[in-house]
Amino acid sequence: MQIYQIESEFGVNNLKRAERDRLPLGEDEVRLEIDSISLNFRDLLMVKGLYNPRQPLPLIPCSDAAGTIIEIGSAVKAWKVGDVAIPSFFSNYETGLPTKEKLSQTLGGPLDGTLRESMVLPERALLRPPKNWTLAQASTLPCATLSAWSALKSGDKLDSVLVQGSGGVSIAALQLAKSLGARVIATSSSDKKLERLKALGADELINYRSNKDWGKEVKTLTNGVGVDIVVEVGGAGTLEQSLKAVCVGGTIAMIGVLSGVQSEVNLIPILMRQIRIQGIIVGHKERAYFTS
């Protein structure tokens, strides 16, 4: 079968088309023919060697896809040939609290990912796509959309949400939050992108390039209260402003590190305003069925 893999060293230029033999099928496994693949920032970091420099190579990158089952093992009960399915981001995390073991088996590193014609997966590691979604739409669910949902579910309240930028997680969080009746404030460095976010349902818009103290602006827009949840994708470079933007007792759902991984943080607001900073790494298989 045709694949794309990072070969002997990291780098986009080392992502090459190649061929591999099809793996044999175990009794509890299915063979999924890939139709659509969606890309995440994690995939680029993995290819460049920035996500895990110790990742063994060669590696088939990408974690998100959707396709059709073309073969099933003798013990498979829940699936049949012709069913459409999505690979779960975590191959071994079905439900419950995370553990080191559950979080260690992820597609696109350390496990071979979805950038290939077909793949063999255990029955437990498949998801049914939402009804009426195309396969292209369904391929966006396992990583970005589920991360956004996990972020929104991480707090005690969901009346107001701040989303940062216009990446996949932020757009998914915006749309999901609006579907749940929340007020959404969106930031971007581009007025053109802000207009796109407004068309998707954002209630208020802030250009963080022209308004450096955008956390204070969030407070102004919420009558001095702040938002219940900040979907934090920026990381070190945006955390200070997110601490200003969140309400007393609110949650900063830490998902991304687009602006860096290290910074000096004043801990006093976290303590005195009882702010929760919750790390988010996608979510388990059971949580992915929020779309059903």
pLDDT tens readout for residues 77-119: 999 999 999 999 999 888 888 899 999 999 999 999 999 999 9
pLDDT confidence bin for 265, thresholds 50/70/90: confident
Write the CATH number for 133. Answer: 3.90.180.10
Residues composing the chain: 292
The predicted pLDDT at position 198 comes to 97
CA–CA distances in Å: residue 251 to residues 196, 218, 243, 248, 268: 26, 15, 9, 9, 15
On whether the CB atoms of residues 145 and 172 are closer than 8 A, the answer is yes
Query: Is the pLDDT assigned to residue 25 strictly greater than 70?
Result: yes
Residue 291 lies in a domain: no
| One domain for residues 22 and 128 | yes
Give the whole-angstrom CA distance, residue 262 versus residue 264.
7
Q: What does the alpha-carbon distance between residue 203 and residue 182 come to, in Å, rounded to a whole number? A: 9
How many other C-beta atoms can be found within 10 angstroms of the C-beta atom of residue 168?
A: 19
Taking residues 54-60, report their average pLDDT: 97
CATH code of residue 210? 3.40.50.720
pTM for this structure?
0.90
Average pLDDT, the chain: 93
Indicate if 88 and 126 belong to the same structural domain: yes
Residues 254, 233: Cα–Cα separation, whole Å: 6
Q: Which domain holds residue 176?
A: 146-279
Q: Is the pLDDT of residue 260 over 80?
A: no
H/E run at residue 245: helix 239-245
**Same-domain status, 152 and 273:** yes
Does residue 290 form part of some domain?
no
Asked if residue 292 is part of any domain, the answer here is: no
259: confidence class by pLDDT, cuts 50, 70, 90: low
Kindly state whether residues 112 and 26 are assigned to the same domain. Answer: yes
Claim to verify: residue 172 and residue 47 sit in the same structural domain:
no
Q: How confident is the model at residue 290 (pLDDT cuts 50, 70, 90)?
A: low
Cα–Cα dist 33/71, whole Å: 9
